[in-house]
Amino acid sequence: MAVTTDPPEGLALPPPDPPRWPKVVGGLLALVVIGALIAVWALAPRRVLPEERLAPEVLTRVQRATVGVEARDAGTQGSGYVAAQDLIVTNAHVIAGGRDLWITFDSGTSSARTLKGTFVREGRPGEPDDLALIRVPTGQAPVLPLADLAQVPIGSILVSFGYPLGWDLSLDARGPEISVHGGRLTALRRLDGRVGWVESDLLVEIGNSGGPVVDETGAVVGLVTVIAGPNLRTALCASADQIRHFAPELSISQP
């Protein structure tokens, strides 16, 4: 009987299997690309956050100089900083006309302590001189110097210190820990020949008011005062120039 490879009438042979090498090569290429991407990601320099630009000793010094401010008779809270020996600067709207003033040092640590403060003077809430001066024994807390704004260019790194949402974030009797946020100087708004507002893109909340905003050296550029803009992403800070004008006695005891 004759043998033939022709299919029976009406039937067709299945098509031959396609060559497998394109799939193998494609898989190898995919592995090479993935490996290259992983290598690039691993070797790429990590983006440094603005607040990470502060030297550890500067970070610690500013944290220790940042205080919590409470006007118990007004029911208000906020932040402040040690501006001179036995003198605290905060916002006028933080104390809101109150005179039963209490200052907390080293909040959130085992060294936390709260002392009674004495009102000295206050400016106008909501204005560039939205400032208040309080006298209280500051002990060994470091004093923060005021920055020379002529030496702080637009785009400079700024870092804010304070207590967003006030004491609501406190988990125990020691009080809340200080929050630190970084951003950049976006504008200097002038008033009467001096800088009135320092504008920045710092992310701040209620409770940050009165807290110091410093440059990379730890010098105070201003105080968090107003949150503005359609998305509340613009922080206006009462400037170092305004603080000097409001409290000229600070220049006598600046470090």
H helix or E strand, kind and range, residue 29: helix 21-43
Q: For position 215, what pLDDT does the model report?
A: 96
Report phi then psi at 191, rounded to 5: -150, 120
Of 209, 146, 215, the residue nearest 179 (C-alpha)? 209
Q: Which H or E run includes 209?
A: none
Classify strands 132-135 and 101-105 as parallel, antiparallel or unpaired: unpaired
Q: What percent of the chain has pLDDT over 90?
A: 60
* Mean pLDDT for the stretch of residues 191-219: 92
Type of residue numbered 194: R
Checking if the pLDDT of 223 tops 50, the result is yes
Q: Could you tell me the CA-to-CA distances from 21 to 18, 24, 28, 31, 32 in Å, in that order? A: 9, 5, 11, 15, 16
Q: How far apart are CA 212 and CA 232, in angstroms?
A: 19
Burial class, 109, CB count within 10 angstroms (exposed 0-12 / middle 13-18 / buried 19+): middle
Cβ atoms of residues 82 and 138 within 8 Å: yes
- Nearest to 70, CA basis, from 108, 112, 103: 103
- In angstroms, the Cα distances linking 144 to 4, 168, 188 are 100, 27, 21
Each residue of 105-152: pLDDT tens digit?
Answer: 998 888 899 999 999 999 999 898 999 999 999 999 999 999 999 999
* Phi then psi dihedrals of residue 203, to 5 deg: -90, 105
For the CA atoms of 7, 10, 13, 14, the dihedral, rounded to the nearest 10 degrees, stands at -160
Query: Who wins on pLDDT, 128 or 52?
Result: 128
What is the structure's pLDDT at 21?
55
Helix/strand/coil percent split, the chain, to 5:
25, 35, 45
Q: 86 pLDDT exceeds 60? A: yes
| Residue 73 pLDDT greater than 90, yes or no | yes
Q: Which domains does the chain have, with CATH numbers?
A: 53-252 (2.40.10.120)
Q: What is residue 251's predicted lDDT score, i.e. its pLDDT? A: 72
E strand segments, 93-233 = 101-105, 113-122, 132-135, 157-162, 179-191, 194-200, 212-214, 220-228
Mean pLDDT of 43-71: 82
